[in-house]
Amino acid sequence: MLVRSKELAKNSRTRKRRLIYGIIPKMINSTELKNGVTFLHHDQPYKVIEYALIKMGRGGATVKLRVRNMENGSVEPVSMSSNVKVDEVVTSKKRLQYLYKDSTTVTFMDPNSFDQTEIPIKVIENELPFIKEGDNVDVLFWNERALSVDIQPKVTLTVAETDPGVKGNTVSNLYKSAKLENGMDIKVPLFINAGEKIKVDTRTGTYIERAK
């Protein structure tokens, strides 16, 4: 109970500070912090990577998360009571062109103003394999800062390398290794051949189906 009281008091102080600055935050329950949801924790923006609800005795429950700091890319564990509310990070989208990356940052450009925006590689390392240089991408901004990119939940990619498919084998629960055009390693069904296009889940990096 004491932990919950501290969490509620801390969130209340954070909310009051935002009201003073004229920002009306949207509060969401901790049980809504599913994969991909962004929220404020200790006044910093985080994105949920993994979510689990652990039920305790007498009806209580704890939300356990793995989250990525959207400013520096660090991954941290976070636990909170299931009835705690947090501020949702409300972002705006801007369509930018992916120019290039170096050892630490990814650079995007506004095709109209030619202004360039940088995002640390650590922050978008999970999304980066699914975008190509020259692609137009929805970049997410919060308080005028670029935080992340918004990509489709599934994309179509070509299989660059894999063992030859077994003729007539349509079993989908037996898998083999494959390398995609973006250099990503993935498991695909035995019947998939090099040169074929497949659909990939960008949230998990796993095979969905053969592209039609």
Q: Where are the domains of the chain?
A: 2-87, 92-150, 154-210
Contacts of 143 (CB under 8 A, 6+ apart): none
How much is the pLDDT for 29?
92
Answer CATH for 2-87 from 3.90.440.10, 2.30.30.30, 3.40.630.30, 3.40.50.720: 2.30.30.30
Distance of CA 44 to the CA centre of its chain: 16
Percent of the chain residues past pLDDT 70, beyond the cut: 85
pLDDT at 143: 82
pLDDT band, residue 102 (cuts 50/70/90): very high
Give the pLDDT of residue 5: 46
Model pTM above 0.85: no
pLDDT beyond 80 at 81 = yes
Residue 172: phi and psi, rounded to 5, are: -100, 0
What does the block give as tokens for 212?
């039609």
What's the length of the chain? 212
Lowest mean pLDDT among 7-11, 70-74, 119-123, 137-141: 7-11
Rounded to an integer, the average pLDDT of 150-155 is 88
